[in-house]
Structure 1
């Protein structure tokens, strides 16, 4: 039979409640017992607390009632002290209290002293104020006197200047006056004294009287002319119809040289003759040389035609007027134009008149003529200071005209040396870089593509004249400034991406072992062999006097004048090897300098680290001389027996007789008279741990030890010493010349 779910749940709940009632009955009884015990303990604790309080009160009472207790004694002592303090306080408030009386007396004395000190301070302050007032009054008096003295001095100075000015104004001009004597015709010089404000007619009267021309020549046939007594020429005529209202001061100030160089000439003319005006200066141009002559004052009339002017100039300068060309330049300008026949001269404002006479050039159009080129060049030219490499001889010349009409004139050679020469040249201010290079071709000896022109620029922060940096001029239409300093370098202009490299010819058997070849360019990662081909081609273009063959030439890095890295054909130009590592020289931002060495045969060194190139010089003691420099290639640079073996193969001397010196850098500076004694010599039997020669380009001396030293006579020793001294001095000069490159 199935029981319903609800009835089942009610039955379970009823059982649970019954269990709870059974469990709670003993717990309640236990709790009631514990509460009863707590109440009993609490009541007992309260009783004990009350008892303790009563005991404390009784104890305190016992202390008060006992006079011998410690507390009682302390209390009595404190009472006595309090009473004593009260007594003293009462005494101190009494007017008769002695300490108080003393203090009052002290205070009164102090107050009296303070009063006296205040009075003294007031008196002192008044005294100081009086002194300050006296000082101010004294300073004011001094300042007034100084101002008065200053005003008096100013008044005196003004008076003195006024008197000086008055004296100066009153002081006459003292002018040199020249005149041809009316009787003897000799040139006479006298001092003409005139006041600066005198008019020209008055000055003429005094000059006429001073020269004592009356009665030989009337004053109407006289006039004054500004005279250049240095060149003995007339500069300007002072005609009365034009200058009669001007003072001598105005004429002096209008002169070119000022008062101290101003001179007058009393000019005369014949009867029935009229004076001609000195209105311009004639300058003759020699078209055969391009020389522009000195200016000479000329007489003339404003109304003259060009033909009349030419006839007059032809007579004056003794030149043919039929093929004469006249070129004028207006004052204050640099432009020129030609005066053509059939016109009036129109010389207003013209101060210089250029003249030439050449039948061939006269037929040309003005701007196509040499006359135009030379005059225009003369007026619009600048000077350039140019340093040239060794080349054709340069001498001061007349003006040279190139095929394109470029004019360049060598003014002077400033300095010459084996390495370079400096010249001062005159060129047109419109000359471009391309035109200058064309004009320099005869002086450099190569075509414009074979050399470059460099200028100088001042480094940042430096004095312009003390520190300049060279730079290559690349813009062909670039012009120059007057006084520019330039330097010409052999070599072509750089192409895009190239860097500059300087080449020097290395001649090991020549006293002048180093010689500049040219500047050129190299591209990054150019193989050495390809660069050698480039050098050969460019050397031919430049006409360099040196035989170069591709397989018979060697390139060295140039360190000062010494030899650096030896470049092999499979290397790249622009690299240096240091301690077995490769470093690009161009990465260090320094210019590359390279030696080019011609060889007698093909290059023998093929390996960089396993072979060492050595120059060797045979010393012959029996002759007191040396042979030409040769070379050996060592396969083991650490074994001195290997060195002796190579020297024996080269010389044919048995190895046991070979002696060699310590290695030296090229070039070696030692006299033949010192080789035997100043070197240490090593043989195959010498003890030496390691030869230690691992760099190329060093020099060894060696000898046949069987030779005995030659005994020199005095004359022989003297001649050798003299020759060796000259040779060593020349080596020093070459080192000094090229060590700074």
Structure 2
């Protein structure tokens, strides 16, 4: 509504009462003061004398924002104890935040009181996301508290001390200043990640679960901390314990797992037990069906996929360990694995994992070598390459149009799932206007 600067507060209350059918005798008029670095102040001007213009001049304002309530019982209370004050204080000093946190203790909507007896955070909702690997909570938070105080409030939800986790913006930027108050943050969405601050000589590394026969073969596990003098064997033990603590759904055993370099999404060199962990930012954790077979740095681990031309299909990915870079050695290894006599084994050149060739193209677009070939080229330069092999006595199946279409549709669906998994980021003249809020402000 429009108010004239020459009005007194009493006259203003009368006009508001007439305009909104409110009782002016128990009306409380509250004025917003200037904001300070960590607080917003309000004053009850219900009984202040003088005109609105004089009130503005006295407080150095050129505009006037007022909050109004009319309740006989609430009017009898001291202003700082009144429901009006609590509603306005909530309106000014509380923000709604979305925070992603790791799995942890169960929680229900509740409140905590740690700041001079006042409520500082209230849980509005909580739901599991990403197959239970994280939780999204929506909370109302007093924006005058610091980041350190917010971390303290999150402890019951995460289950570890504040030193055991860090807070990030959604763009991945870590919030380092624990004394910064929340009202100075430019966004209301945060991410909590487990892991303490680094000490001298320590490095943080991201661990990814490698499951070569799964569409989601590259899956983030957790972050961990190691020192440069940590052996691969000791780091494996550390990973097993940390995975248990964090509730990661994966069976890891010391003699049935390997650590290996992560080259973007491709698995690289296998880290042997007696070596030290290097300062890579990311590594793969690969569960194995049996004990680790690669024992020496001169060996090469190769993924192998058996191709069945007569069925136009492939078997699940397996592996062989090469002791020497020799054609007959590879053929003999494939023969041992498959039971196919060596003279009937044909194999392809090494390609990078993950492979993207269609079953419709394997037979004709790959170059095949056998025991009788004059030349051969494996393309096996490091751990993690892939070769196809087959029993060359099998004849290629003659596909019908329907069968060809079914294969194409199945492979396209898998390709979409794979893509989805990895692509896994704003006073004038002599009168003024002001807003009138009546009733409860939330």
Tell me whether 1:615 sits opposite 2:303 in the alignment. yes
The correspondence for 1:483, drawn from 178, 186, 193, is 186
- 2:249 maps to 545
- 1:633 maps to 321
Q: Deviation string for 1:402-424 (max 9, x for gaps)?
A: 475432567999xx999999998
Aligned with 1:669: secondary structure?
Answer: coil
Change over 3 Å in CA distance of 1:380–1:444 after alignment to 2: same
Q: Could you tell me how far apart the structure 2 residues matched to 1:241 and 1:511 are? A: 70
- 1:301 maps to 24
Q: Could you tell me how far apart the structure 2 residues matched to 1:675 and 1:632 are? A: 20
The correspondence for 2:93, drawn from 380, 384, 390, is 380
Instruction: State the shift of 1:521 in Å.
Output: 2.0
Contact 1:391-1:445 within 8 A present in 2 as well: no
Q: Deviation string for 1:630-680 (max 9, x for gaps)?
A: 1110001x2111001001111111111111111111101111121111111
Larger radius of gyration: 1
The correspondence for 1:277, drawn from 3, 10, 14, is 14
Could you tell me which runs of 5 or more consecutive residues in structure 2 were left unpaired when the two chains were aligned: 35-39, 49-65, 74-79, 426-442
- 1:432 maps to 146
- 2:62 maps to none
Q: How many residues align structurally? A: 386
- 2:289 maps to 600
Q: Could you tell me how far apart the structure 2 residues matched to 1:593 and 1:601 are? A: 24
Q: Deviation string for 1:403-461 (max 9, x for gaps)?
A: 75432567999xx99999999865321233344346667988988666421249xxxxx
- 1:511 maps to 215
Tell me whether 1:666 sits opposite 2:356 in the alignment. no
Structure with greater helix share of residues: 1
Q: Could you tell me how far apart the structure 2 residues matched to 1:354 and 1:729 are? A: 60
Instruction: State the shift of 1:701 in Å.
Output: 0.9
Q: Could you tell me how far apart the structure 2 residues matched to 1:299 and 1:700 are? A: 83
Q: Could you tell me how far apart the structure 1 residues matched to 2:157 and 2:196 are? A: 18
Q: Could you tell me how far apart the structure 2 residues matched to 1:241 and 1:540 are? A: 65
- 1:703 maps to 390
Contact 2:102-2:193 within 8 A present in 1 as well: no
Contact 1:526-1:572 within 8 A present in 2 as well: yes
Contact 2:103-2:135 within 8 A present in 1 as well: no
Greater relative contact order, per chain length (Cα 8 Å cut-off, separation 6+): 2
Q: Could you tell me how far apart the structure 1 residues matched to 2:244 and 2:274 are? A: 24
Q: TM-score, normalised by structure 2?
A: 0.72
- 2:431 maps to none
Change over 3 Å in CA distance of 1:563–1:389 after alignment to 2: farther
- 2:224 maps to 520
Change over 3 Å in CA distance of 1:524–1:298 after alignment to 2: farther
Change over 3 Å in CA distance of 1:330–1:670 after alignment to 2: same
Change over 3 Å in CA distance of 1:659–1:689 after alignment to 2: closer
> 1:104-123 alignment to 2 at 5 Å?
none
Q: Deviation string for 1:332-356 (max 9, x for gaps)?
A: 264479xxxxxxx983367334989
Q: Deviation string for 1:3-31 (max 9, x for gaps)?
A: xxxxxxxxxxxxxxxxxxxxxxxxxxxxx
Aligned with 2:22: secondary structure?
Answer: strand
Instruction: State the shift of 1:699 in Å.
Output: 0.6
Instruction: State the shift of 1:694 in Å.
Output: 3.3
Change over 3 Å in CA distance of 1:667–1:496 after alignment to 2: same
Change over 3 Å in CA distance of 1:332–1:646 after alignment to 2: same
> 1:331-346 alignment to 2 at 5 Å?
331-332=32-33, 334-335=40-41
Q: Could you tell me how far apart the structure 1 residues matched to 2:186 and 2:359 are? A: 50
Change over 3 Å in CA distance of 1:716–1:523 after alignment to 2: same
- 1:502 maps to 206
Could you tell me which runs of 5 or more consecutive residues in structure 1 were left unpaired when the two chains were aligned: 1-225, 228-234, 244-253, 255-275, 282-295, 310-326, 338-344, 358-365, 393-397, 457-467, 576-584, 586-591
Structure with greater strand share of residues: 2
Change over 3 Å in CA distance of 1:330–1:399 after alignment to 2: farther
Aligned with 1:665: secondary structure?
Answer: coil
Q: TM-score, normalised by structure 1?
A: 0.45
Q: Could you tell me how far apart the structure 1 residues matched to 2:181 and 2:122 are? A: 14
Q: Could you tell me how far apart the structure 1 residues matched to 2:42 and 2:246 are? A: 41
Contact 2:347-2:387 within 8 A present in 1 as well: yes
Q: Could you tell me how far apart the structure 2 residues matched to 1:626 and 1:683 are? A: 19
Instruction: State the shift of 1:731 in Å.
Output: 2.6
Aligned with 2:191: secondary structure?
Answer: strand
Contact 2:126-2:135 within 8 A present in 1 as well: no
Contact 2:123-2:139 within 8 A present in 1 as well: yes
Change over 3 Å in CA distance of 1:619–1:734 after alignment to 2: same
Q: Could you tell me how far apart the structure 2 residues matched to 1:553 and 1:668 are? A: 23
